[in-house]
Amino acid sequence: MKDYKQMSVGQIVADRFENASVFKKYGIDFCCGGEISFIRACEKANVSTDMLIEEMEQTSSSASESIDFKSWPLDLLVDYVLKIHHRGIREKGPQIMELLNKVAQVHGDNHPELLEVKTHFYESLVDLGQHLEKEEQVLFPYIYEMAEAQLNNKPMEEFHCGSVQYPISAMMGEHDAEGERYRLISELTNGYTAPADACGSYRLVLNMLQEFEYNLHTHIHVENNIIFPRAIELEKGF
């Protein structure tokens, strides 16, 4: 086992994705805040490093959390993000928005926080739509070109952005903004906990929002901690 005390939380989750569930349990951000050291993250969460390491060692793999992303080729990782996460955001987002509008209309008087949640989620979908387009039209095509050039041992033309680090930096900034937005949504919904008077639709939309946030965190983790560092290193080889 690697020395987690010398690693960042993002590196630890990249090494073994099952560790994400342990970090999530203690409120440790492994995606947007993934650059923080493991020791510092434990200090902020007021938990013992040794206790967390022991808990991570005991965490078993599940079907959904056993994907060894770090072993995948770079272009396959991009395929995964496009087919699973980009497609998922575009399909699930409008469905959640539609249900959230209905629930807020019925329960908004007694639970005004729903109106804030609705606004934040709508703004998230707008910003994510622009974010996905920038990845698809600017960043990912260049990563595909680099992967193909490396495979065929061919030179690369200079990137029109100058370096892949520039769009990556912009994407990571937008990831941070979304991370903050969903922390606020989580706070407003008391950790996606339904109130006593919640109807079935109310409970359903909270579950859908929580799943959407989890998938978004996975998306950000795969990009911030695996795809982006590897793309930067790959570019240095040309």
Task: State mean pLDDT over 84-88.
Answer: 96
Q: What is the pLDDT of residue 64?
A: 45
Task: State mean pLDDT over 64-69.
Answer: 66
Euclidean distance between CA atoms 54 and 37, whole angstroms: 17
CB of 147 closer than 8 Å to CB of 234: yes
Average pLDDT, the chain: 91
Euclidean distance between CA atoms 35 and 167, whole angstroms: 18
Q: What is the pLDDT of residue 13?
A: 84
Q: What is the pLDDT of residue 26?
A: 87
- Residue, of 141 and 59, whose pLDDT is higher: 141
Q: What is the pLDDT of residue 129?
A: 97
pLDDT over threshold 80, residue 34 = no
Q: What is the pLDDT of residue 11?
A: 86
Q: What is the pLDDT of residue 167?
A: 96
8 three-class SS: strand
Q: What is the pLDDT of residue 111?
A: 97
Euclidean distance between CA atoms 129 and 35, whole angstroms: 25
pLDDT tens sequence across 158-201: 888 889 999 999 999 999 999 999 999 999 999 999 999 999 99
Q: What is the pLDDT of residue 14?
A: 79
pLDDT over threshold 90, residue 93 = yes
Report the 10 Å Cβ neighbour count for 180: 11
